[in-house]
DNA sequence: CGAGTTTGACCAGCGC
DNA sequence: GCGCTGGTCAAACTCG
């Protein structure tokens, strides 16, 4: 097939194979509707090339929570941030530290992550930039720089599944499939244990892109859709029906639920374009409670740029400037 | 007719 | 080693 070429344009792939289940309880424990963006998360998000966007026909959906699963695992309670963002900052910070240099964790990082235990440090070796530390040669064998996820039978036997960075978030939505600017093809559906709702598996229709996503409804609250992304897009979104690309961050930001503090929330692929914010705010009308807005720090008026990261992931035209 | 979805089967990883 | 479960494949089917 064609999805062989370096599926990791950013070279930021850091695998994580350990457990990564989404913390299930916290949804309630966390004050409703509050977003939790770890600097690290947003980093990866953009690496994923996200452009989260609610579908037109849906009244609205609140991003309940955002969690980079891998990190979440390592940090004692990454999601316990309702107003306690700092609580996880030790973790987020360290994560950021690891990636701050590159802002995307693509390079430099060091294993200096006290918070990130062996679990991560092993699988997420900072120096993976060029070769996924966790990719035992035997797996990708097939064809040299082949992406970890080999969507062919060749991978079936003797080849361990390689996990790419995963990211999950919960949204309150009536529709399962959130429009994020990319086209997805469903390739499977499975019943999930302890959940009356099936889990759907999607992969990016771009043959060169290995990004996948899982969509399922929370068994606790059927109104909540849990979307998990895995991998990063090696191309650009197809755009949204309404025209104009908007980043989920922008959307969140517009909703007042997202605070682009310094190097935390800026990312090449999804750089926040302030020019579109107003329209987003109007069209999306993502509700935000007073309590939420209260607990959120003010948005930083200036978004840092990181040319270094833009690298091959974002064509010049996509950059803000 | 091509693209996307459905669905049963198969496989790998993990816990016991 | 065995069984369970999640993840993926791929043929059949649906839809535009």
pLDDT in tens, chain A (321 residues): 433 333 333 333 333 333 344 444 444 433 333 333 344 445 545 555 555 554 444 444 455 555 555 443 333 333 333 333 333 333 333 333 333 333 333 333 333 333 333 333 333 333 333 333 333 333 333 333 333 333 333 343 444 555 666 677 777 777 777 677 778 888 888 888 878 888 888 888 877 777 888 888 887 777 888 888 877 777 766 654 443 333 444 334 333 343 333 323 333 233 333 332 223 233 333 332 333 333 333 333 333 333 333 333 333 333 334
Please give the nucleotide, over all strands, whose C1' is closest to the CA of residue A161.
B12
**Sole residue written with tokens 């600097």:** A39
CA dist A200 and A232 (Å) reads 19
Strand C bases near protein CB (under 7 Å) are 4-10
Strand B bases near protein CB (under 7 Å) are 3-9, 11-15
From residue A227, alpha-carbon distances to A7, A63, A64, A249 in Å are: 22, 11, 11, 16
Strands A212-217 and A224-230: antiparallel
**Is strand B within 7 Å of residue A158 (CB)?**
yes
The CATH architecture to which A169-230 belongs is: Single Sheet (2.20)
What lies within 8 Å, CB to CB, of A59 at 6+ separation is A174
**This model's pTM is above 0.75:** no
Please give the nucleotide, over all strands, whose C1' is closest to the CA of residue A139.
B12
**Is strand C within 7 Å of residue A191 (CB)?**
yes
Other CB atoms closer than 10 Å to residue A172's CB: what's the count?
18
Please give the nucleotide, over all strands, whose C1' is closest to the CA of residue A156.
B11
Residues 106-165 of A with CB under 7 A from strand C: 149-153, 155-156, 161
CA dist A107 and A232 (Å) reads 16
Domain boundaries, chain A: 169-230
Helices within A222-306 (DSSP H only): 248-254, 277-284, 290-295
Closest residue by Cα to residue A63 from A167, A173, A218: A173
**Is strand B within 7 Å of residue A156 (CB)?**
yes
A298 burial via Cβ count (<10 Å: 0-12, 13-18, 19+): exposed
CA dist A124 and A142 (Å) reads 23
**Is strand B within 7 Å of residue A184 (CB)?**
yes
């Amino acid at each position: 097939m064609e999805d062989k070429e370096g599926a990791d344009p950013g070279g930021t792939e850091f695998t994580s194979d350990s457990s990564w289940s989404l913390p299930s309880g916290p949804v309630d424990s966390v004050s409703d509707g509050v977003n939790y963006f770890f600097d690290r998360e947003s980093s990866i998000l953009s690496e994923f090339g996200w452009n989260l966007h609610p579908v037109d026909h849906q009244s609205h959906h609140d991003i309940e929570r955002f969690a980079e699963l891998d990190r979440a695992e390592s940090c004692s309670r990454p999601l316990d941030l309702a107003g306690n963002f700092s609580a996880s900052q030790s973790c987020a910070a360290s994560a950021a530290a690891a990636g701050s240099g590159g802002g995307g964790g693509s390079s430099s990082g060091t294993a200096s992550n006290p918070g990130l235990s062996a679990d991560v440090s092993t699988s997420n070796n900072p120096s993976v930039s060029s070769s996924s530390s966790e990719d035992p040669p035997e797996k990708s064998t097939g064809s040299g720089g082949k992406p970890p996820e080999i969507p062919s039978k060749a991978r079936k036997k003797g080849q361990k599944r390689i996990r790419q960075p995963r990211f999950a978030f919960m949204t309150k939505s009536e529709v399962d499939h959130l429009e994020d600017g990319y086209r997805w093809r469903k390739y499977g559906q499975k019943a999930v244990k302890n959940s009356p709702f099936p889990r759907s598996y999607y992969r990016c229709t771009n043959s060169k892109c290995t990004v996948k996503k899982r969509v399922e409804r929370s068994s606790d609250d059927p109104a909540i859709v849990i979307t998990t992304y895995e991998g990063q897009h090696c191309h650009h979104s197809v755009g949204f029906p309404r025209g104009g690309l908007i980043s989920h961050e922008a959307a969140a930001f517009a909703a007042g639920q997202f605070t682009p503090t310094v190097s935390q929330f800026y990312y090449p692929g999804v750089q926040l374009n302030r020019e579109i914010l107003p329209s987003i705010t109007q069209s999306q009308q993502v509700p935000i409670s007073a309590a939420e807005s209260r607990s959120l720090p003010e948005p930083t008026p200036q978004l840092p740029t990181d040319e270094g990261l833009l690298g091959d992931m974002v064509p010049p035209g996509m950059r803000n400037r």
